[in-house]
A and B are shown apart, each in its own frame.
Chain A
Amino acid sequence: MTATGRIINPRTAPDPVGEFFYRLAERGPEPLLANVSGTLRFDLLDGERVEHWYLTIKNGHVAVSHDDADADAVVRTAKALFEGMTAGRVNAMAAALRGTLVPRGNLTLVVSFQRLFPGPATSRAHAGPGSDEGSTR
């Protein structure tokens, strides 16, 4: 049995995963998603619970919802691990190779989406104009 996670109010929730998703929805068109479209479902396992998140991507815009919909790709992983990805502690591709993150469906959508995760907080670009940016975009 899976339970659909409750709708989280982005303003009050201390949930970093919800925050990550809602921030995506709030910000303008994301160039990293400019040339993909479709619905991506995340099944995030949290103990007995499974949270379903639907992200519909179109022209770089992201809409977030918990409502059931047809998904072009599904990513299943532990919520704690996903949280690590949103914080730059866990690399999604390495997690997939270890079998702790299971993608299926339209993989271009999944690969494009993982580009939104930040790099490790300790990573710094070399000297030059890029270095000021640090790891977060």
Chain B
Amino acid sequence: MTDGLVRVLEGNTFVVSDKRGDIEASATDPTGLFSFDTRFLSRWVLTVNGQRLNPLSVDDLHYFEARFFLVPGTGTVYVDAKLSVIRVRAVGDGFHEELTILNHEDKPVDLQVRIDASSDFADLFEVKDALEKKGTYRNRIERGRLVLGYQRETYQRATLISATSPAEIDDGGLTFPVRIEPHGQWRTELQVVTDMGALEAALPDTRGRPSMARGLQKWVGKAPQLESSLESLKATYQRSIVDLAALRFSPALAAGDSLPAAGLPWFMTMFGRDSIFTSLQALPFMPELAATTLRVLGAWQGSRVDDFRDEDPGRILHEMRYGEMTAFEDRPHSPYYGSADATPLYVVLMDEYERWTGDSKLVRDFEPQARAALNWIGEYADLQGNGYVSYKRRNEETGLENQCWKDSGDSISYHDGTLPGFPRATCELQGYAYDAKVRGARLARRFWHDPEFAGKLEKEAADLKRRFNRGFWVKNRGYFAIALDTDGRQVDSLTSNIGHLLWSGIVEKSKARSVVRHLMSAQLFSGWGVRTLAEGEGRYNPIGYHVGTVWPFDNSIIAWGLRKYGFKEEAARIADGILGAAQYFDGCLPEAFGGYPRQMTKYPVQYPTACSPQAWSTGAPLLLLRAVLGLEPVGDNLVVDPALPVSAGWLELLDIPGRWGRIDAFGRSRRRP
């Protein structure tokens, strides 16, 4: 934790505190106990005899549990430790904190132990933007508990605080009069429970669920095992599996199953794009994530035209939020649908999921959703009537301007750095649409018994591919434009998006070599990975969010694309760079890192505000392993066609789950001559 903050979490409940375990949030400060996008504690401060404590060490036991070792006194070099204080905090329906104080003296001590508690019940969006609250606060003492309450009309949220030892409770906290015998100890357990008001009735009852430690053990045990001559690779793999466990999110309607949320801690919610990409990356390892993603996103699929939410029939959601601003429609996330890629990617995931698992039931059950998604591409996403998917928000106030994965304001630019208007038809969207049609045709023919629809989709796909390879091809430079603008003019900068096109299969064979040459050129390839925007483009900046940084997720898709077109060695080079970079982040790849040339910095430079771990960065090593091992389901078999980077030595992936049961894959790198 480079920022000095300690995070523990479970699903969408998390606690961010300082190294003492204390929370002292200001309006804009992102510390506190959060659940369902609401801050349930903004102050949680432990004092002993009115004194703050000093941290000796913090153990991150698991992602859901941390232990703080503390002593009284602050600010001086020398700490006279006659007392030790240990806080063990575990998250789950709020959190549980075990507080132990040890007396190291040979005489008894009398202490006043106090926990200050209060909450501003801020919406996550408010924490980011520092907005005013509209409801009223009411703290009360009820049945031996301190209840912090907030109400705005029928919207009610509360935090319930109780302890196992006798305490004097006032509306600002709990005080414990404590006497500890010589070399004795005192212990209490604090329980902090979040209450969602009327909505509690809808939430699943989590009492009596198996312990989280056991759940994590089971999760890790179920994943394939990686053996390798490269210790760092094994460590990165283990880290990815554990981080993916932490990133699991169980929406109320998934009945205990989970899907990947987008990132810790601020994005612990369903995101169409992130949940789909991460499920795709994790398919060879944890196929059940994809099943839940398909089910839940399918249940929430758009069904009507709603400008505020940028919803259309058939559209897959972009983001779901549960806070006060969403409840009162100051924000459109109930859910918000403004994403142009999640819908075609939904069909891509469904097909890929069936190819791995053979779960034809899901494909048949969700035929209406897949059809509606395919229909959305032609009926609602072709904003310009030119046969291309493009996007333009209808919610001009709080909707998203950029509805593709590069969603920052300056991510889509011409070579000279100027920005196009809206609608924008970015190139990767056409690739996803093409792939969705091709895969949809397979599903229609094989599972929906509708060869006519399959034929129609295939014809549309072929037509789209032909037109795309003419319309987006920047002739004089030999790659695909990042977008077409409103006049049908090419937005001609060189970007990583062209790698996604290989993955989708929309690139004509004759053009692939030129695309690959650009991807591996010094302009795009930093040595660690492919930059979002090429050096030499008007807006290039090695630490610009989408205009020069390297995104591990992006690179994992590109490596998969390179494999699809037979460029094994290039895929291995990208895997080598990204997996090599992972070592410098203890196996936990950030969302993005600097695009500086590798030989200049020697180590990857972290992007300043990248959130970590982030689901699709965590999934990147998994997909890269798939790419270098050349894992591809063909019929009922798994084909293994390894092409490892030289640095990898050998690697073995054991018990890969799929329609074949469990299978092992083995690969050895070719030595340099």
Inter-chain contact B380/A130, CB cutoff 8 Å: yes
Q: Which of A35, A130, A135 contacts B365 (CB 8 A)?
A: A35
Query: Which residues of chain A are within 8 angstroms of B408 by Cβ–Cβ distance?
Result: none
B300 in contact (CB, < 8 A): yes
A1 sits at the interface (CB 8 A): no
Interface centre among A98, A103, A112, A122 (most CB of B within 10 A): A98
Which residues of A sit under 8 angstroms from B155, Cβ to Cβ?
97-99
- Per-residue 0/1 for B30-64: is the Cβ within 8 Å of any A Cβ (1 yes, 0 no)? 00000000000000000000000000000000000
Q: Which of A107, A122, A127 contacts B307 (CB 8 A)?
A: A122
Residue on A with the closest CB to B295?
Answer: A108
Residues of chain B from 199 to 229 with CB closer than 8 A to chain A in the complex = 199, 201-202
Query: Is B329 interfacial (CB-CB < 8 Å)?
Result: yes
A75 (CB) vs chain B CBs: closest residue: B202
A127–B312 CA distance with the chains assembled, in angstroms: 13
Question: Which B residues are in CB contact (< 8 Å) with A127?
Answer: 383-385
Known contacts A117-B304, A119-B304: A99-B197 contact under CB 8 Å: yes
**Across the A-B interface, how many residue pairs have beta carbons closer than 8 Å?**
124
Residues 368-385 of B at the A interface (beta carbon under 8 Å): 368-369, 371-372, 378-385
Tell me whether A135 and B201 are in contact (CB under 8 A): no
Give Cα A32 to B299, complex, Å: 9
Interface flag for A27 (CB, 8 Å): no
The interface-forming segment of B20-28, B320-328, B530-538, B658-666 is: B320-328
A36 to chain B, nearest CB (A): 8
Chain A positions 18-52 with a Cβ under 8 Å from a chain B Cβ: 31-32, 34-35
- Cα distance, A118 to B384, chains bound together (Å): 25
For the complex, count residues of A whose C-beta is within 8 A of B.
40
Q: Cβ of A96 and Cβ of B306 under 8 Å apart?
A: no
Stretch at the interface among A5-13, A61-69, A86-94: A86-94
Does B175 sit within 8 A of A, measured CB to CB?
A: no
Q: Which residues of B contact A120 (CB under 8 A)?
A: 306-308
For B253, what are the chain A residues with a Cβ–Cβ distance below 8 Å?
107-108, 110-111
The contact of B327 among A94, A110, A129, by CB within 8 Å, is: A94
Contact with A along B616-629 (1 / 0, CB 8 A): 00000000000000
Shortest CB distance B545–A (Å) = 27
- Evaluate contact between A35 and B199: CB separation under 8 angstroms: no
Whether B234 sits at the interface, judged by CB under 8 Å, is no
Assuming A32-B303, A127-B385, is B335 touching A93 (CB within 8 A)? Answer: yes
- B275 CB to closest chain A CB (Å) equals 16
In the complex, are the beta carbons of A119 and B322 less than 8 A apart? no
Which bucket holds chain B's interface residue count?
A: 35 or more
| Chain A residues positioned under 8 Å from B252 (CB to CB) | 107
Interchain CB contact under 8 A, B201 and A129: no
A123 at the binding interface (Cβ < 8 Å): yes
Please pick, from A102, A117, A119, the residue contacting B201 in the complex, using a CB distance under 8 A.
A102
| B12 sits at the interface (CB 8 A) | no
Q: B residues within 8 A CB of A96? A: 199, 202
Q: Given contacts A34-B368, A94-B327, is CB(A128)–CB(B304) below 8 Å?
A: no
**Residue contact A128 to B379, C-beta cutoff 8 Å:** yes
Q: Does B84 contact A (CB under 8 A)?
A: no
Which residue of chain A has its CB nearest to the CB of B301? A115
Contacts of B439 in A (CB 8 A): none
Contacts of B309 in A (CB 8 A): 91
23 contacts between A and B (CB under 8 A): A35-B368, A91-B309, A91-B334, A96-B199, A97-B334, A98-B155, A99-B197, A100-B154, A115-B301, A116-B303, A119-B305, A120-B307, A122-B307, A123-B304, A123-B306, A125-B312, A125-B380, A127-B383, A129-B382, A130-B305, A130-B380, A135-B306, A137-B313
A96-B199, A130-B379 provided; 10 other pairs, C-beta below 8 A? A34-B368, A91-B334, A93-B335, A102-B199, A107-B253, A111-B300, A116-B303, A123-B308, A128-B382, A128-B384
Task: Name B residues whose Cβ lies closer than 8 Å to a Cβ of A.
Answer: 153-156, 197-199, 201-202, 252-253, 255, 298-301, 303-309, 311-313, 322-324, 326-329, 334-335, 365-369, 371-372, 378-385, 392, 394, 423
- Top 8 nearest A-B pairs (CB, nearest first) are A97-B327, A119-B304, A99-B198, A115-B303, A107-B253, A119-B306, A123-B307, A93-B334
